[in-house]
Amino acid sequence: MRSINYDKIVMEMAKLCRDANYFLGDDVKNAYDRALAEEESPTGKEIIEQIKENTEIARTEEVPMCQDTGVAVVFLEMGQDVTVEGGGLYDAINEGVAEGYTSGYLRKSMVEHPFRRKNTGDNTPAIIHTKVVSGDKLKITVAPKGAGSENMSSINMMAPAAGEEGAKEFIIDAVRKAGPNPCPPIVVGVGIGGNFEKAALLAKESLLRPVGQPSKDEEIAKMEHEILDKIKRLGIGPQGLGGTSTALAVHIEVYPCHIASLPVAVNINCHATRHKSIVL
Amino acid sequence: MSKKQLTPPLSDADVENLQIGDQVFITGTIYTARDAAHKRLVELLEEGKELPIDVKGQVIYYVGPTPAMPGQIIGSAGPTTSYRMDPYSPRLLAEGLKCMIGKGTRSKEVKDAIKEQKGVYLAAVGGAAALIAKSIKKAEIVAYPDLGAEAIRKLEVQDFPAIVVNDCHGGDLYEEGVRKYKK
């Protein structure tokens, strides 16, 4: 059994939080360039230029690209032959989040209760999803998620008869209803199948894919392409002020489901689709 | 679409001069407030009490910045989604507030109040938080420090960039813009 030190996890987690908020991935930057080339609206082009400039300021000055540095959504892939030495894994993750959000001058956006709404002061607790996998490594991914886009997400437990067309319609409608609120150009994460919570989790996980990388399932990849094309025709555009670059990509993940179910979840991400990983 | 300079406090004439799609650059004093601060302001008005800031002719920017790093005036400071302020905005417009800056659509009640009270709603580019911070030259908390990122701040800005979305003539760029590019 291989072991990883608690303090090492805290340190790496803190760095991931800072890096994810300062340094946007090349996958997203390349998607901006594609959007800029395609955008038909002059205002839309100007907005994409501003977003690109913002990304550069954040990178060179090491400051948060967006003031909403989000909820720390953490995905763990824990090898079954690895153990943590010196403390609990989730404690290490939360300590790392607190350390990263404090030392990195990131905004603390978590409140301790949905109604009483007192800020926890260090952006904990993180929302942690864990998978146990084979091997002796620990992969940590953080995807800081702002509320502007998260609040525009939705789920629909559809009748199987709705089929692919029904699912497409629901996804496009979610983007139409969201309009300018989730900071377009957006990335549309979709989970289809599983059950109520599995579909939502699939939608969130799909956002971890490099932006614009199609599904490995050819039929699903075709569906992603078709939906993206229809979303571009909605006219919402950058920041919702009209234009063709409403979304940078549509990512769909699917899973087996019950004979009577067709769950479809849409999790929208803003143009700052942040995710950083490390393998320990 | 034309480029215009705005210097608060704003008059009816300043606001009447603005059309949807105009790119505006604000120089001078503006205030920040989000939902928690709005709730307190409106509660004070309902109790007939005085506000901690005079909103007449003023601009409120919906933002909760990141903490300032050593040597920074303010942290990253992009707009937050405006609909959360919708329940409170008509009351503040009635009190003389002239301009709101945020992102995203407003309710019918807010749009009606913008027309009736001669106000204007501007959008700043959501997520362009590091870029927008460059236009902020001074920042000071003037009310509700207990709200942290959501405290009311007085900002001195220079050429703060925004776009007119709802003008006092009933125009709505979110509707117009989408209509133009819908296929």
ipTM of the complex as predicted: 0.91
Instruction: Tell me which residue of A157, A155, A154, A153 sits closest to A262, measured CA to CA.
Output: A157
Residue A46 lies in a domain: no
Same domain? For A7 and A134 the reply is yes
DSSP bridge partners of A255 = A193
For residue A236, what pLDDT is reported? 97
**Rounded CA separation A232/A70 (Å):** 27
Residue A279 lies in a domain: no
Same domain? For A236 and A139 the reply is no
- Of how many residues is chain A composed? 280
Structural domain count, chain A? 2
DSSP letter (8 states) at residue A151: T
Nearest chain B residue to A60 by CA distance is B130
pLDDT in tens, B56-93: 999 999 999 999 999 999 999 999 999 999 999 999 99
Same domain? For A10 and A119 the reply is yes
Average pLDDT over every residue of B21-41 = 96
| Closest Cα in chain B, distance from residue A3 (Å) | 36
CB contact under 8 A, B129 and A148: no
CATH no. of B3-175: 3.20.130.10
User: Within an 8 Å CB–CB cutoff, is residue A147 touching chain B?
Assistant: yes
Residue B4, pLDDT above cutoff 90: yes
Give the residue carrying structure tokens 């289809």.
A192
CB contact under 8 A, A58 and B165: no
**Rounded CA separation B92/A93 (Å):** 43
Residues whose CB falls within 8 Å of the CB of residue A12, separated by 6 or more in sequence, listed in order = A96, A140, A278, A280
**Rounded CA separation B124/B65 (Å):** 14
DSSP bridge partners of A269 = A187
Same domain? For A177 and A157 the reply is yes
Nearest to B65 among A46, A57, A67 (CB): A67
| Closest Cα in chain A, distance from residue B23 (Å) | 9
Asked if residues B107 and B91 have their Cβ atoms less than 8 Å apart, the reply is no
- Helix/strand/coil for B168: coil
Residues whose CB falls within 8 Å of the CB of residue A61, separated by 6 or more in sequence, listed in order = B130
Same domain? For A163 and A139 the reply is no
Residue at B157: amino acid letter: V
Same domain? For A13 and A71 the reply is yes
pLDDT in tens, chain A (280 residues): 999 999 999 999 999 999 999 999 999 999 999 999 999 999 999 999 999 999 999 999 999 999 999 999 999 999 999 999 999 999 999 999 999 999 999 999 999 999 998 999 999 999 999 999 999 999 999 999 999 999 999 999 999 999 999 999 999 999 999 999 999 999 999 999 999 999 999 999 999 999 999 999 999 999 999 999 999 999 999 999 999 999 999 999 999 999 999 999 999 999 999 999 999 9
Asked if residues B29 and B154 have their Cβ atoms less than 8 Å apart, the reply is yes
Q: Which of A130, A145, A160 is the last residue of a domain?
A: A145
CB contact under 8 A, A233 and B183: yes
Same domain? For A126 and A8 the reply is yes
**Rounded CA separation A145/A155 (Å):** 18
Asked if residues A274 and A212 have their Cβ atoms less than 8 Å apart, the reply is no
Residues whose CB falls within 8 Å of the CB of residue A153, separated by 6 or more in sequence, listed in order = A174, A203, A265, A266, A267, A268
**Cβ atoms within 10 A of the Cβ of A229, count?**
11
**Cβ atoms within 10 A of the Cβ of B105, count?**
22
Residue B1, pLDDT above cutoff 70: no
Residue at A18: amino acid letter: R
Average pLDDT over every residue of B38-50 = 96
Give the residue carrying structure tokens 């078709």.
A226
Active site residue B169: no
For residue B37, what pLDDT is reported? 96
CB contact under 8 A, B130 and A61: yes
Same domain? For A174 and A227 the reply is yes
Residue A204 lies in a domain: yes
Same domain? For A140 and A156 the reply is no
Same domain? For A97 and A11 the reply is yes
Asked if residues B172 and B154 have their Cβ atoms less than 8 Å apart, the reply is no
Q: Which of A95, A120, A145 is the last residue of a domain?
A: A145
Same domain? For A83 and A163 the reply is no
**Rounded CA separation A116/A119 (Å):** 9
Same domain? For A178 and A252 the reply is yes
Sequence-ordered strand ranges (E) for A124-198: 127-133, 138-145, 154-158, 186-194
User: Within an 8 Å CB–CB cutoff, is residue A237 touching chain B?
Assistant: yes
Q: Which of A110, A145, A180 is the last residue of a domain?
A: A145
- Of how many residues is chain B composed? 183
pLDDT in tens, B100-154: 999 999 999 999 999 999 999 999 999 999 999 999 999 999 999 998 889 999 9
**Rounded CA separation B72/B70 (Å):** 6
Instruction: Tell me which residue of A243, A251, A242 sits closest to A269, measured CA to CA.
Output: A251
Size of interface A-B (CB pairs under 8 A): 153
* Active-site residue, from B38, B40, B98, B111: B38
List CB contacts (< 8 A) between A54 and chain B. 125, 127-131
Query: By residue range, what is the domain housing residue A74?
Result: 2-20+65-145
Helices (H) and strands (E) in chain B, counts: 6, 7
- Please state whether A86 falls in left (phi above 0), alpha (psi between -120 and 50) or beta: left
Sequence-distant contacts of B43-48: CB under 8 A, at least 24 apart? B45/B91, B45/B95
